[in-house]
Structure 1
Amino acid sequence: MSQSKPEERLALELSCAICLQLYRDPVALPCGHNYCLGCIQNAASAEDPKSPKRCPECREEYGSLETLPKNFKLSSIVDGFLVATTGGGLRGGPTVPCDQCLDNPLAAVKFCTRCEMSLCPSHLKKHEERHRSLHVLVELPAERDGKRCPVHLKVTEYLCVQERLFLCSDCLMEGSHQHHEVQTFEVAKEEMKRVLEELGKSVSDKLQITEALVKSASEGPTDKAEDKLVARANILQNVQYVFSRFSTEITVSIAV
């Protein structure tokens, strides 16, 4: 077995012994062991509530969960590790989540071209041990860093026209979008361009009419000054309405 890279060894050292992933909100037990807050809570809830709470590793007793102090130093080290290895991590900016993490996915650092999966340091180590050199691991492609579905954590590829939401392939197979009108991003882009072009032509036509009305009003009889003022006020009101509607449509289209 080839020697692990320094960052992979460090990732193992910074991983919780329960979930085997990088610490998230680590807390320190009196015995010196550290665990993710959620992990130690789940471990405690699985035991007899009448029995004293014990460390999952050394079985030393500890007090209530509420008294466990957060390990701020360890948390800072994990955040620094994520910044150094992923350019920000899930806590510092947009990254690609690991496809193997079930809960609270960590930032992926490599992509397996055969499995088509993004892998965090911990799962990358397991993947390399399982497949050795049979699978090709590459740096994360730029296109993998796109917008992700918050439900299925997959890259979004579609647009729900009714709700104006981005969808992944799994969203199309389940949930409330099954009977909605759905477009691919490419189709939605072309539709948006068409709408904007039509709106632009409509505004252009209305502006030409407005200019003609303004010119006609200014060239009218001088003894009808009051009528001119009323006409100009109506014209300005129509212009404002046209531009207001155009701006609204632009905003809605861009939001898509």
Structure 2
Amino acid sequence: MASSALRAELDCSICLSTYTDPVMLRCGHNFCRVCIDRVLDTQDQSGVYSCPECREEFQVRPVLMRNLALRNIMENLLSTQPTQTETGIFCTYCVDSPVPAVKSCLHCEASLCDKHLRGHSKSPEHVLCDSSTDLEKRKCSVHKKVLEYYCTEDAACICVYCSAGEHQRHQMEMPDETSKKKKKKLRNIHQKLITKREETEERVQSLEERRRKAQEKASGEAERVIAMFIDIRRRLDDLERKVLSEISRQEEQRSLSLSALIQKLEIKKAELSMKMRHIEELCNMTDPLTVLQEPDTGDLCDPEEGGGDEDTGGHDRQRHDGDDRDVAVISDTLHTLCDIISGIRSGIYVEGPADILLDVNTAGNNLHISDDLKIVTWTQEKQNRPKTAERFQYNQVISRRGFASGRHYWDVEGRRSGECSLWMAGMCYPSVDKRGQQSLIGYNYKSWIMCRYNNNQCSVIHDNKEIRIPDKISTNRFRICLDYEAGQLSFYELCDPISHLHTFTATFTEPLHAALCVVECSIKILGGGRNWNYPS
């Protein structure tokens, strides 16, 4: 076995590893062929060549001579070195006592232990990696040389021969430098991903909280509905028992009354039968004196006939009174059922489909809006609301919601408070002007309005065109009906029967909002609904 001193003499001074295909310069120093070729390649640009060991200069690139004797020694030496076995990767240079390698030198293509790693780790040319790394993956697939450069144009790792070949005119970088740039870019991406992940986690938590609240709300609503229907069933059962009990009571009372009447009539019937038999006996008598001595037969019939009429009349009155009681019970039952149904609707639907609520943000400063957003009242006292783009300059206000489809209606009632009072009710687009003369509802092409004057006169206005209603109005209650798809807006007077006043026809292009205007008066929104059906 070679000693450690002999092994030191067999190391290349360039790669600090055992000679591989050793060659000799004219000065007598030996190197690995690959190592000295790489050094001479770097000296080509200056045109001056020198020995890396003794620094002897050569005018022309020296010829490399194979050292056959040294080559034979290296082959015999390498034949005794340990190779990778099932126990792991061993140090290339620990021949006498093999030690597991901890690093691999890409420059020398050797596996090293801590002892032989010292010289390689001090040289920047010697790139180290984990001993478990497959070195074949770090070699050029074409030239089988270590990948030493990075081509930025082709984004590929290349060897020294590739750099002098197809990548000759490309921009080159050292792998370490390119790796640092890529790591910096990856760190930035990683930080952005962390931020996005945190944002995603926050959104997930927010959605989970919303889902939890939705589940709690649904559970609460389910419990409320269950309790409501339990109460409805209880009320219906109570109502059923009450009605059946009333029917039984009336039936029993009627039965007793009829039984008494039947008994009385049976007595009358017996009396009449007895009188009939007496009359028949008189008719069969042959003695005229006996017949003439009997009382007049008319006296026998008159009282009974009157009593019969009285009894029959009483029976008829009793029958009619019973019918009236039945109707009263049914009417009371129906009213109770209506109350229950109304309770169901109000319990399930908090706000109706066509509920109209006024938008305070659009109300003029001389308008007072009630807390339930249903009544608008003119007032001389300024409300000191902020001046915004959506607030009307004049005494006008529109509703919060609009209708962009379907058929809807809503009712209003006007109330006077001055001698010069008038009010307007209708619909408009939300994009109607809020300031200037053109903002008055009815006096632009974006609003349709009905105007109620103090002298019981009425008119409809659109696009500054007024149409007078010829008849005087007898009520302050009106209905506005919208058929959006048909392009019709109709006004009705809520009298008995309902009276049609006017219908506007247009092609609606925006949602329509309720619009109100008051001067020395107030308007109350009474309610609304869907799918109205009145004659035009």
Please state which band the TM-score falls in when normalised by the shorter chain: 0.3 to 0.5
User: So what's the TM-score if we normalise by structure 2?
Assistant: 0.19
Bigger Cα Rg: 2
Higher strand share: 2
* Higher relative contact order structure (alpha carbons within 8 Å, sequence separation ≥ 6): 1
